């Protein structure tokens, strides 16, 4: 599993924007900026939709006021699902990134196999990335939600 002090691995993540599909490299996404990245096991799932993403939507301005340039949400879903979920959650301040084949999640060592539920998904976590280097990592134990919440992350900035 990636650790604080390590560089984010090279990968490509997708985002459906008003201008169409954009494929971002992690080196481009995280270079020369401070980014809060949080991951969810799946878009439109209960805890993700009722607490995790809404917390970052609500606290986005306060998080950015702490010197954060970008807040991004990632899931092992496609970019169309991520974009629709972001719209449904009024997440205009959050970059909704898709890791469709889980390659980024696997490179981080943060994948989990949910079996018949959905196969390979991301563990729930939040991290702070400063110029491509992880400075903080908060990974949730299974079936819990606290360490990776927006409130916990904001308090640590």
Where in the sequence numbering do the catalytic residues fall? 48
Long-range contact pairs involving 6-9 (C-beta distance under 8 Å, separation at least 24): 6/133, 6/134, 7/132, 7/133, 7/134, 8/108, 8/129, 8/132, 8/133, 8/134, 9/104, 9/107, 9/108
Instruction: For strands 94-98 and 70-75, give the pairing.
Output: parallel
Cα distance between residue 131 and residue 4, in whole Å: 13
> Is the Cα torsion angle 18, 150, 12, 105 positive or negative in sign?
negative
Burial degree of 5 (CB within 10 A; 0-12, 13-18, 19+)? exposed
């Amino acid at each position: 599993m990636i650790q604080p002090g390590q560089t984010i691995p090279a990968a490509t993540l997708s985002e459906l924007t008003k201008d169409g599909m954009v494929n971002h490299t992690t080196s481009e996404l995280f270079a020369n900026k401070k980014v809060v990245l949080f991951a969810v096991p799946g878009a439109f799932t209960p805890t993700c939709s009722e607490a995790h993403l809404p917390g970052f939507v609500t606290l986005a301005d306060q998080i950015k006021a702490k010197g954060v340039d970008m807040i991004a949400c990632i899931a092992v879903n496609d970019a169309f699902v991520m974009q629709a979920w972001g719209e449904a959650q009024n997440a205009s301040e959050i970059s909704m990134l898709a890791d469709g084949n889980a390659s980024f999640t696997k490179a981080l060592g943060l994948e989990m196999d949910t079996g018949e539920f959905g196969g390979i998904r991301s563990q729930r976590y939040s991290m702070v990335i400063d110029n491509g280097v992880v400075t903080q990592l908060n990974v949730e134990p299974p079936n819990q939600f606290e360490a990776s919440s927006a409130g916990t992350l904001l308090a640590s900035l």
